[in-house]
Structure 1
Amino acid sequence: MGAAMPASWSESLERDGYCVIPDVLPSSVLAALEADLESDFIQTPLGDGDFYGYRTKRFGSLLRRSEHAARLVMEPTVLGIANSILSGACERIQLNVAQAIEIHPGEIEQFPHCDHDMWSGAKGEHEYLVNVIWPLSRFTKFNGATRIYPGTHRIQITSLEQLGEPVVAECDPGSAICFLGSTVHGAGANLSHDVRRAIVIGYSLGWLKPYENPWLAYPPEIAKTFGPELAGLAGYAQHRPNLGNFEGQCPSILLKDSVPAYPRATDALRPDQQEAVHEFARSRRAVA
């Protein structure tokens, strides 16, 4: 496909707060995913809230609804971008959300917002999140294409009056709309007669509580069908030191054919921590 190397797009993302990468995946992949999700789109009720929208449908757990969802989550260019942006502040990144969105005619413009506001930690020292929107429908300014406010990742927005004119992310299925968790954005109003569909795949720092609870979305019997890297992104991996363990073990132990009734608690430390702890323990044993 026509996507450039992740490094060049990461530079654009860090500079502007967003980038739109054309032709990342064949449109046929998005069409196959949409076909798998058709029944879910039909059965999911419209939302209830001024933020989620009263004319918008949303549902998650996409990795168990369609085998094609993994193509989006594991796409090398966007995964490389997410790692480039986030890995400086965490030991490993995680899947924050895999959600389908359908905006119906008559829906109003969504409140402009930053997705990293779901976490109350101090902002500005590092990014918390990279989101990627994969259109299933062609995005236009008339059907609710995402509106992005360039440069807002670099300033503190305290009033909507500070926002300039947004960029409307018009593009076709197969393109990837990437933006930082610190970038102000929102869905546009759907002024057309057709629904606007998209997939949102988000990656966040591995030590954060994710937006979508991964162990409920993908319990072990589901996650067993994933490859190791996908399972790790979906929550079945520890974040050193020892964060997110199960009985002192990496939670990936739950994906094995045989799970011990009493797992053996085993250190999962960063190399610097491992060395310090080892030297401390060695010195104490020497005088014991």
Structure 2
Amino acid sequence: MTSPHPPNSVEVITGLDDLRVDLARRHRATVSAAWTIDPAVAAADLAAVERDGYVIWENLISPAECERLRAALAPLLGRTGRNTFEGERTRRAYNLVDKTRACDGLVEHPRVLALLDRLLLPNYLLSQLQAIEILPGERAQLPHHDDGFYPVPRPRPALSAATMWAIDEFTEDNGGTVLLPGSHRWDGERQPAQSDARVVARMPAGSCAFYLGTLWHGGGENRSAAARLGLTVQYCEPWLRPQEAYTLAVGRRTVRAVSEDMRRMLGYSIHPPFMGAVDGMHPKRILEQQDSAGE
């Protein structure tokens, strides 16, 4: 393939528009698996999210897949939370990308990516992948919105989005996620009140709730006799710092093993013109250099 520039030539930058491209030019933004979703379906999902702040999809994965996930996640779940926000009777597992491939299909599910492609800038990042098991007797979690730690005043567009996958059935009694419809439009002064409408994400196992990072929500109280296992996947704009530092937490052997969508979301991508570069180059070149060295 012919290079767009002669050898040893210097590209002339005349304005900011010239910097809104990948200066490396070799690794373009890849097309996500979202292309498999009917645009009309994705448009309806987007309309629901813009109206309510969330959308619920039932039965996206099979009972057999839920059972496989339970088996993979069970040995990874740690002790109960370190504080009341994590949950005194809630077990969690962090950095699942480096511990198991069982969750990859949820992270890169085409229905999810189709919405993210419409909500966030290209090369958006994976911010967190976490299993959450709410045990019997757990109290309701403090309501919060997931991108509240970014110091950008509200009201504003969401800087992140999240999914909560029901690996077990979510009910009103076992800690189903509580959502506050329309709260994604609140300003920074407003806090949840008892009078605000709330919706429990009642979902059969295998279902998924997608919600904006500006939507107020929280884990529900578990008044049942059984644990409730969920998996949350959070994504953020490509110019923001993710919650989990995946370029440090995930080994390069794992990065080579995952899909192009996953690799991009782990930070092996560029937000134009050069955010995310390594030694002035696209980070994917690190993988190529190590491959050529036999590492």
Report TM bin, short chain.
Answer: 0.7 to 0.9
- Which moves more between the two structures, 21-30 or 131-140? 21-30
How far off its partner does 1:163 sit? 5.2
State the SS of the aligned residue for 2:120: helix
Within 1, Cα distance between the matches of 2:226 and 2:253?
A: 37
User: Percent identity at matched positions?
Assistant: 30
Q: 1:123 aligns with which of 147, 154, 159?
A: 154
1:172 maps to a residue whose letter is: P
**Aligned residue number for residue 236 of structure 2:** 204
Matches within 5 A, 1:25-36: 25-36=61-72
Cα deviation 1:205-241 (Å, max 9, x = unaligned): 0110001111233121221211222111111112112
Within 2, Cα distance between the matches of 1:213 and 1:258?
A: 21
**Aligned residue number for residue 253 of structure 1:** 285
State the SS of the aligned residue for 2:258: coil
State the SS of the aligned residue for 2:184: helix
Q: Confirm whether residue 6 of structure 1 aligns to residue 55 of structure 2.
A: no
Cα deviation 1:224-262 (Å, max 9, x = unaligned): 21122211111111211210111111111222253799x
- Deviating beyond 4 angstroms after TM superposition, the runs of 4 or more aligned structure 1 residues are none
State the SS of the aligned residue for 1:207: coil
Matches within 5 A, 1:208-287: 208-256=240-288, 258=290
1:26 maps to a residue whose letter is: S
Contact 1:149 1:163 in 2 (8 A): no
Scaled by the length of structure 1, the TM-score of the pair is: 0.83
**Aligned residue number for residue 24 of structure 1:** 60
**Aligned residue number for residue 169 of structure 1:** 201
Unaligned runs of 5+ in 2: 1-36
More helix, by proportion: 1
Contact 1:36 1:65 in 2 (8 A): no
RMSD: 2.1
Unaligned runs of 5+ in 1: 262-288
Q: 1:103 aligns with which of 131, 134, 140?
A: 134
Larger relative contact order, structure 1 or 2 (CA cutoff 8 Å, min sep 6): 2
How far off its partner does 1:65 sit? 2.5
Within 2, Cα distance between the matches of 1:15 and 1:64?
A: 36
Q: Confirm whether residue 160 of structure 1 aligns to residue 196 of structure 2.
A: no
Cα deviation 1:132-176 (Å, max 9, x = unaligned): 000111101111000000011112253332751310001012211
Q: Confirm whether residue 141 of structure 1 aligns to residue 172 of structure 2.
A: yes
